[in-house]
Amino acid sequence: MRIESIYDPSFKSYGKVLEGYDPAELLTAMKAIPLPDAGTAYSPAIDSLEACDAIFEAFRDRAYGGMPIQLGMCWGHNTKLNCLEYHRDSEVNLGTTDFVLLLAKQDEIVDGVLDTAKVRAFRVPTGVPVEVYATTLHYAPCHVDAAEGFRVAVVLPRGTNTGKPDFAPVSEEDRWMTARNKWLLAHPDADEAKAGAHIGLSGENIDIA
């Protein structure tokens, strides 16, 4: 799989680079959180990251137009696709190292399934905030260096990826929801599929390793 740059024109339909943010304090706070020995970890909101007032307020006011946000992190070791998810809004990511996002588009889902041949890989440089559009499917970042792993800040509207709302599904899409503001398509090989998530990816379970 060819890994493209977020500065390539091909990225413009998936997201955009955000400018005018100072990530220094946030990067220091992120680096203080230990990596898991294997696999990945995720927390929707982390107090020490949200205490980085200047960038937290800038994300809230500039990136999200003053809407309530949460600032959490996904971190660990990963090279595989496994799943794709989407929200009803953009997500902002920023890493302490270079990392790779595996992305596709909602309009490429056909009858509840997306062919992983549609997935593209984009490398995000250290400390560069990137907006991933609401119409872009994404999931856990991939590390570039196995020894370093990855630490990627995840900015979303407050409450996203917390407890799933309790309601009776009416549409097919309702059945893809696995948490608040989170719709998930799982590859048959993924642990999420084994746990009951909608199997919505066909083809290769991409591994950039």
CA dihedral (103, 155, 107, 184) in degrees, to 10, reads: 80
Instruction: Report which of 208, 196, 193, 207 is spatially closest to residue 83, judged by C-alpha positions.
Output: 193
Q: Which tokens in the block code for residue 1?
A: 């799989």
Long-range contacts of 183-188 (CB under 8 A, 24+ apart): 183/85, 183/86, 183/87, 184/83, 184/84, 184/85, 185/83, 185/84, 185/85, 185/109, 185/112, 185/113, 185/114, 185/137, 186/82, 186/83, 187/81, 187/82, 187/83, 187/116
| pLDDT for the residue 155 | 99
| pLDDT for the residue 2 | 96
Start-to-end Cα distance in the chain: 10
| pLDDT for the residue 145 | 97
Instruction: Report which of 62, 61, 109 is spatially closest to residue 84, judged by C-alpha positions.
Output: 109
CA distances from 186 to 125, 126, 144 (A): 27, 28, 23
Spans of the chain, pLDDT less than 70: none
**What's the predicted TM-score (pTM) here?**
0.97
How many Cβ atoms are within 10 Å of 168's Cβ, its own excluded? 5
How many Cβ atoms are within 10 Å of 146's Cβ, its own excluded? 9
Distance between CA atoms of residues 60 and 17, nearest Å = 16
Share of the chain above pLDDT 90, in %: 100
- The domain ranges of the chain are 3-202
Q: Which tokens in the block code for residue 186?
A: 């799982």
| pLDDT for the residue 126 | 98
> So what's the architecture of 3-202 in CATH?
Sandwich (2.60)
3-state SS class at 61? helix
